Amino acid sequence: MGRKRKLEHFAEMKGFPHAFEPKLEEVFRAEYKMKGKWRDDFFKNDHPLVLELACGKGEYSVGLATIFPEKNFIGIDIKGARMWKGAKDSLEKGMKNIAFLRTRIEFIESCFGENEVDEIWITFPDPQPKDKQEKKRLTGPLFIERYKKFLKKDGCIHLKTDNNFFYSYTMEQVEEKGYELEESTDDLYGGYIDTMDERMQEILRIKTHYEKIFSEKGHKIHYLRFKP
Ligand SMILES: C[S@@+](CC[C@H](N)C(=O)[O-])C[C@H]1O[C@@H](n2cnc3c(N)ncnc32)[C@H](O)[C@@H]1O
């Protein structure tokens, strides 16, 4: 995307009623004004709240929000120009159960309060394969401890990835830390998905921008769901 286009998207996002872009000082060692208040102040209901982390263009958030009008969704990513796509699509469709939050996931505890979140989706995150990058892995212990501060006790984390290393790493974390594994497959579309109920199939057939790219390259898609 050209620089001019990006700037246009950034400017347009600022006017979207469902796009939140906290300044650094609002989330760094601070409590963002929406923390603990997403339902009351924005969604105006008491429906479950589901987050999509590293949402990119937000296809999962928009797809899930379409399937589940009785739940609220927030797509989170640091790249505003990407998130613009999901924000624009959902606005044009008049969807009221979705929002977008532009921030680093490192600051996520500043944005959500205890027990505020029911479920988390992580879709095709950067695998950060080098040892020194472990701190940046979105299913690493540092991040999971952050999520536990706002995820409900029974809340689960879904991961979709094409990356073998990241899938194995997350499975190891599940085992090492004693998280409750609910579902796992290293080849979702190789027959596994057909064994799932229809609703789950519909959910898991939502494809993000990166999933389409990786699938076209012939990569197998891995899926796992666990309770931390
Ligand atoms: C490979 S892309 C996947 C995007 C989307 N989920 C998809 O499947 O098309 C990874 C995304 O993670 C975002 N990201 C990586 N690290 C992040 C962080 N620490 N905080 C917020 N976003 C991050 C990037 O901006 C990028 O959009």
| Residue 76 near residue 109, CB atoms below 8 Å | no
In the chain, how many domains are there?
1
Q: What is the DSSP string of 92-131?
A: HTT-SSEEEEES-GGGGGGT--TT-EEEEEEES-----SG
Domain assignment of residue 132, given as a range: 45-227
**Ligand 1 centroid – CA 213 distance (Å):** 15
Look up 89 and say whether it is catalytic: no
Q: Is the CB of 96 under 6 A from ligand 1?
A: no
Residue 171 lies in a domain: yes
Which band of pLDDT confidence, cut at 50, 70 and 90, is reported for residue 5? confident
pLDDT in tens, 38-63: 999 999 999 999 999 999 999 999 99
Residue 15 lies in a domain: no
pLDDT in tens, 16-31: 999 999 999 999 999 9
Residue 52 lies in a domain: yes
Q: Is the CB of 208 under 6 A from ligand 1?
A: yes
- The sheet that has 222-227: what strands, in order across it? 19-20, 98-102, 72-77, 49-53, 117-123, 151-161, 222-227, 180-185
Q: Is the pLDDT of residue 1 over 80?
A: no
CATH code, domain with 96: 3.40.50.150
**Ligand 1 centroid – CA 74 distance (Å):** 14
| Residue 210 near residue 124, CB atoms below 8 Å | yes
- End-to-end, the C-alpha distance of the chain in Å comes to 37
